[in-house]
Amino acid sequence: MRDLKGYGRTPPDPKWPGGARVAVSFVINFEEGAEMSLSSGDAFDALWAEGERQPKMMSIGLHLRMIGRPGRIAALDGIVAHMRKKGGVWFATRRQIAEHWRARF
List the single range of 4-13, 19-28, 57-66, 91-100 with lowest mean pLDDT: 4-13
The b/e string for 85-98 (b: 16+ C-beta within 10 A; e otherwise) is: eeeebbebeeeebe
pLDDT of amino acid 39? 52
Of all residues in the chain, the percent with pLDDT exceeding 90 is 51
* Predicted structure pTM score: 0.78
Q: How confident is the model at residue 18 (pLDDT cuts 50, 70, 90)?
A: very high
Which of 3-17, 27-41, 62-76 shows the lowest per-residue confidence on average (mean pLDDT)? 27-41
User: Which DSSP helix (H) or strand (E) runs through 52?
Assistant: none
Give the integer Cα–Cα distance in Å for 91 and 9. Answer: 26
What residues form DSSP beta bridges with 12?
none
